[in-house]
Each structure stands twice: as structure tokens, then as C-alpha cells.
Amino acid sequence: MPEEQKENLPIGVKGAVVGGAAVYLLFKAGAGYGWMLRPPGAVTEEEFLKKCLRCGRCAHVCPYNSVEMGRLTDGIAIGTPVIIPREMPCYLCPDLPCVKACPSGALDPELKDALKTRMGTAVITEREECLSIKGLRCEVCYRTCPAIDKAITVENYLNVKTGRHAIFEPVVHKKDCTGCGICEKACVLERPAIVVQPLQPPSESWYEG
């Protein structure tokens, strides 16, 4: 009996190493799936992945159910909180319940002012599609922006196509944009012309301290 057991152990070690390697490859392969919009106060992505326990408390306390949890297809980010603005953006609660709920500091408790968070930044990705830039009076992104006249302003200039009308172009100012995604959600187009993207280059921290 003891000899049989001695033979079993190396199989166990081999099995465990193979299993460990498989898990490593599975998650390493899924790690390249690009950027995810994190809840307010999230520390840098590398640090965030180290600290996030995937407990879902930020999602449980979110009054808008804005926070979803990563799926198996998100690779290494499985179970981590993500905001998909087109489904439900972050409405920047002044009391920041998600940040308060986070036990591990993945959402930095030093963040006190929701407007200071820098989850990402809105970018007008489809200039040709944007109704305002086409010369129509849309400006929905500007009107819904929680940092209106700071993060998004409207610049007007002559519509050269008609020669007599004005174009009211929404302009994003990265410095003041929280990355909440309300504009992305509000954009009237089927595929939004304004989309939240990562801050480039990534700063030391995703919010202003």
C-alpha cells in the first residue's frame, strides 16, 4: 500500500503542473482582449488586476446596475467589474458607493469627488457620422455630460457646405472628462459617434488626487 502511494505522488505532481500550465495559458491568452472601463477610482489596470478580489461588491451596491462582471471570455479579467456604457454608464454618484464597498483598495478610497475620477476619456470616434458635425442641431452628448462646459464644450463655426449656417461641434476636453460614458449612452446614433476610450498615455493614476 505505501509503495502504491509513492508511485501516485509523481503522477499527482505531473497532473498539477499540467493543470497549472493549462490555467496559465488559458488566462494569459485571454489577457490581450483589450481595455475595460473600470468603476470610479480604479487604480492602474496592472495594479487593479492585482488587487481586485472579484467579489462583486461594487456591482452589488451600484444603484444603476452599471457594473457588470467579466465573463470567461474576458480571460484573466473574468469576474472583474466592468462598465459597458452603451448598456448602462456610470452616473457618478456623489457618495461613490462602489468605492466605499471595495474592500481591497482596487477602487482607491482616496477618491472623494466623483467628478475627479478618470476612468477613461470620451473620444469622438466617428466625425463623419456625428450629427452635430454634419451641421444638425444634436449636441445630446454635450447636454447630458455631468461636466458640461468643462469636459464637453460646443464650438461653433461657419458651415462651409451651405455658406450661411453654423456647425455646433462638440469638443471633448480630456482634462475634465471622467470617462463615465453618459455621452456614449446618450448618442442618438445606432453606433455611437462618441465612445469612452482609455486615457493615452496611461497616467500614474486613473483619477486626479
| Contact footprint for other proteins (CB under 8 A) | 5, 8-9, 12-13, 15-17, 19-20, 23-24, 27-28, 31, 46-47, 49-57, 59-61, 68-69, 71-73, 76, 78-79, 101, 103-105, 109
Considering beta carbons, is residue 5 or 190 the nearer one to other proteins? 5
Considering beta carbons, is residue 29 or 188 the nearer one to other proteins? 29
Considering beta carbons, is residue 7 or 155 the nearer one to other proteins? 7
Considering beta carbons, is residue 79 or 135 the nearer one to other proteins? 79
- Smallest gap from residue 117 Cβ to other proteins (A): 19
- Smallest gap from residue 133 Cβ to other proteins (A): 38
- Smallest gap from residue 84 Cβ to other proteins (A): 13
- Residues making up the chain, counted from first to last: 209
Contacts of 143 (CB under 8 A, 6+ apart): 186
Long-range own/partner contacts, residues 26-31 (CB < 8 A, 24 or more apart): 26/75, 27/75, 27/76, 27/78, 28/75, 28/76, 29/75, 30/73, 30/74, 30/75, 30/76, 30/77, 30/78, 31/75, 31/76, 31/77
- Smallest gap from residue 58 Cβ to other proteins (A): 9
Tell me how far apart the 2 most distant CA atoms of the chain are, in Å: 95
Considering beta carbons, is residue 75 or 135 the nearer one to other proteins? 75
- Smallest gap from residue 104 Cβ to other proteins (A): 6
Contact 37, 88 (CB under 8 A): no
Considering beta carbons, is residue 54 or 134 the nearer one to other proteins? 54
- Smallest gap from residue 80 Cβ to other proteins (A): 9
> Could you give the CA distance from residue 116 to residue 146 in angstroms, rounded to a whole number?
12
